[in-house]
Amino acid sequence: MKITDFKILKNEWVSPDCFELSLEPWEDLDVRPGQFLELSVPGKTLRRPVSVCGRDGRILRLCVRAAGEGTVILSGLKNGVINAIGPLGNGFSLPGKDPCCTSGAAGCGHGSGMYKEGSAAESRLLIVGGGIGCAPLLLLAEEAVKAGLEVTAVFGFRDREHALFEREMKALALRSIYCFDSEGDDAVSVVRREGLTDLPFRACGPLPMMEGLASAMSSDGEFSVETRMGCGFGACMGCSIRTVSGMKRVCKDGPVFRKGEIVWQSLR
């Protein structure tokens, strides 16, 4: 984890409410899928947490939804330099491979190095995203395909206009299913309908989607969750959620937690 400046190479709208930033760090950063940056926003006291959605060599790509004042300011930064802390958080693990837990990282939300998928399922992975929650999952999908996993991705959006990453997902060797609220369909229904509820999974999206998925899945998996952050690196306890093994900081022990760890009610 470092605090460093990034050169803004590109910043353009990719949907009616989302824009994509390409950032070149001053110092190289080693980023895992599901990790995030704390971006400094001109005129705002607190930094904004944003996941890394793609990597081209040393260049990092972020996809941001203009959700409020800070992200709207970010959407207007077309060039120059932006300061960020990162990479932050534990990130997702890949079935069969578990860089975070095997290295014995303390307090990691995946559990204490015990994470093992059923070996039959180990070669398959289900990735479920909703809206801007698909951002960290794009990088995960890329890495999972690279690792030789058989990936099925189900991405849900409000409507076709708001869909993200269609081009990138098409280019990957995986099965991807897009679904839209406007057409009366949603990611959890697709997962049920397609009979995918026993696959190891990784998910990120709005809370109702994640809670729905947690109860739909018979298998184990990981969720990336969101809370407001004071610091992003573990110092303030502003982001803590209750888990079955006590209070955990979303920024440092998370944002990725195993299904069985999360006490959903503490996130509502």
Catalog residues that contact ligand FAD under the rule CB under 6 A. 36, 46, 48-51, 63-65, 67-71, 132, 135, 226-228, 255
**How many beta carbons lie within 10 A of that of residue 171, not counting itself?**
10
Size of site (CB under 6 A) for ligand FMN: 3
| Under rule CB under 8 A, residue 266 binds other proteins | yes
SS3 104: coil
Window 220 to 249, contacts with other proteins (CB under 8 A):
227-231, 233-242, 247
Question: Which listed residue (16, 76, 230, 260) binds ligand FES by CB under 6 A?
Answer: 230
Partners of 201 in beta bridges: 126, 221
- Whether the CB-CB separation of 51 and 197 falls below 8 Å is answered with no
Q: For the chain, what percentages of helix, strand and coil (3-state, to nearest 5) are there?
A: 25, 35, 40
Residue that the structure tokens 């997902």 belong to: 169
- Give a three-class secondary structure readout of 228-261: CCCCCCCCCCCCEEEECCEEEECCCCCCEEEHHH
User: Which partner from the list ligand FMN, other proteins, ligand FES, none does 247 bind, CB cut-off 5 to 8 Å by kind?
Assistant: other proteins
Q: What is the DSSP letter of 188?
A: H
| Under rule CB under 8 A, residue 103 binds other proteins | no
Binding mask 189-228 for ligand FES (x = CB under 6 A): ----------------------------------------
Window 87 to 146, contacts with ligand FES (CB under 6 A):
none
| Under rule CB under 8 A, residue 66 binds other proteins | no
76 closest CA partner among 2, 19, 27: 19
List residues binding ligand FES (CB under 6 A): 229-232, 234-239, 249, 251
Binding site for other proteins (CB under 8 A): 1-3, 40, 44-47, 85, 227-231, 233-242, 247, 252, 266-267
Interaction site with ligand FMN (CB under 6 A): 230, 236, 238
